Amino acid sequence: MTVRVGLTGGIASGKSTVSRMLAELGAVVIDADVLAREVVARGTPGLAAVVEEFGPEVLTHEGDLDRPAMGRLVFGDPGARKRLEAIIHPLVHQRGAELEAEAPPDAVVVHDIPLLAEGDRAASFDEVVVVDVPTEVQVERMVRDRDWTREEAEARIAAQAGREQRLAIATRVLDNTGTQEDLRRAVEELHADLVAGA
């Protein structure tokens, strides 16, 4: 029996690292961010719908989606962000379902979804794993690793669900305040538990 896992975490929590570790252990990882790029690639109906909604200024000269321009357009405008999500989210869900259908019958299928707490999908998974760190650690990591200002980091955190919201949907929490080795051990234990439940 397939075990369906929703994996989420705030920005700079280490969710992508956990996702990669689970893939290395044999889980089938379906990354919503990758799919979100795929469904608006050049020549797709998704990109055509985005251009129809927002105009040709969201395209690069080559005809690809201009991500920085799109980001500037929707980041401070909740209405615009909702219109963009209304185009992209159904396409991502459909593609994710197709990939899940291709997984082996006893697989651990991990849906890596950064904004899982913001949507209404947590109940559709057998397990919801939240990679958790204190907000201050998120800020420190973004300033250190991404060369962002403290203000930029705090604004990005504020645009996501709060830590309490994420923890409220968790069936399992992975604390990522320790070392990479600590995290790997926790992920290995988690994967073993999930396989046992498959």
The per-residue DSSP string of 160-175 comes to SPPHHHHHHH-SEEEE
CATH number at residue 130: 3.40.50.300
The residues, ordered by sequence, that sit 6+ positions from 152 with a Cβ below 8 Å of its Cβ are: 142
Same domain, 181 and 149: yes
Q: Which domain holds residue 121?
A: 1-27+107-198
Query: Are 120 and 193 part of one and the same domain?
Result: yes
Write down the pTM of the prediction. 0.88
Do residues 69 and 58 make contact, with C-beta atoms less than 8 angstroms apart? yes
Q: Are both 44 and 7 inside the same structural domain?
A: no
Domain shared by 158 and 87, yes or no:
no
- Give the confidence band of 49 by pLDDT, cuts at 50, 70, 90: very high
pLDDT band at 72 (very low <50, low <70, confident <90, very high): confident
Domain count across the chain? 2
Confidence tier at 91 by pLDDT (50, 70, 90): very high
**% of the chain residues with pLDDT over 90:** 84
Cβ neighbours of residue 106 closer than 8 Å, sequence gap 6 or more: 1, 2, 198
State CA 105 to chain mean position distance: 24
